[in-house]
Amino acid sequence: MPKVSREYLEGKRNEIVDAAFEVCKRKPAYEVSMSDIVAQTGWSQGGVYKYFNNICSVYASMIDRANLVGDQIPKIDQVMAGDSDPKTKLQRLFGISESFFSDMLISYNKILFELATYCIQDPEADRKINGETRAVPVFPYLASKMAELIVTGAASGYFEPVVPVDDIIKFVVSSFDGIIRDVTLNRCYSVQTEEITELDEKRLISCLYISTLKLLGV
């Protein structure tokens, strides 16, 4: 039997993940079954199970693909390793968050939101799914680097925080979480209120950046 190349196997896995994303556009991600994915691919059940043993493995590959969009981790590391001043670095990190979120919004955020909700409600599924992910989650990594920058900038005297540094970091992280959640609900599910009919992630992140600078005494 001829040896199958790694590229061939990866291509087949990607075809299955593509099919899973298509199914998730039509129904909530947490309701997708392996049977749905098999039907979408048009393959036999055995053909799909040859590459993925269960739905949690498929979910893990979907999450990995989303976190690899645009190769963001090297960009974040490059900013942190540069010799720019802390304010410029912070501005660039916020810029990365803005572009990454915009790139992810339509293609991935609905699915990631649904999977996150599913994992919160089912710790065993969370363990299985995240136990198989390989890519570094971008937003937690970005938040950790922002926190590092704020702490070192305050310690060096470059920043002069008007409130405790720990509170600023919590504010930034929780604000990011809120922006991601609310924009996803607004744009992917058309959730609106009398006060808010449309949310723009770029403007919200820009406001968060300006607010963070004010809190840092800049």
Residue 141 has pLDDT above 60, yes or no: yes
For residues 106 and 102, which has the higher predicted lDDT (pLDDT)? Answer: 102
pLDDT in tens, 157-186: 999 999 999 999 999 999 999 999 999 999
Percent over 90 (pLDDT), the chain: 87
What value does the mean pLDDT take over residues 121-140?
95
Residue 195 has pLDDT above 90, yes or no: no
Grade residue 1 by pLDDT with cuts at 50, 70 and 90.
very low
> Would you tell me which CATH number, out of the four given (1.10.10, 3.30.1300, 1.10.357, 1.25.10), belongs to the domain 70-215?
1.10.357
Rounded (5°) CA angle 79-105-209: 45
**Amino acid found at 178:** G
Grade residue 197 by pLDDT with cuts at 50, 70 and 90.
confident
**In the predicted model, what is the mean pLDDT of the chain?**
94
What value does the mean pLDDT take over residues 61-70?
93
Ordered by start, the domain boundaries in the chain are: 1-53, 70-215
Q: Which of 2-16, 69-83, 138-152 has the lowest mean pLDDT?
A: 2-16
pLDDT in tens, 17-50: 999 999 999 999 999 999 999 999 999 999 999 9
The CATH number of 1-53 is 1.10.10.60
Residues in Cβ contact with 40 at an 8 Å cutoff, skipping those fewer than 6 apart: 19, 20, 22, 23
Percent over 70 (pLDDT), the chain: 99
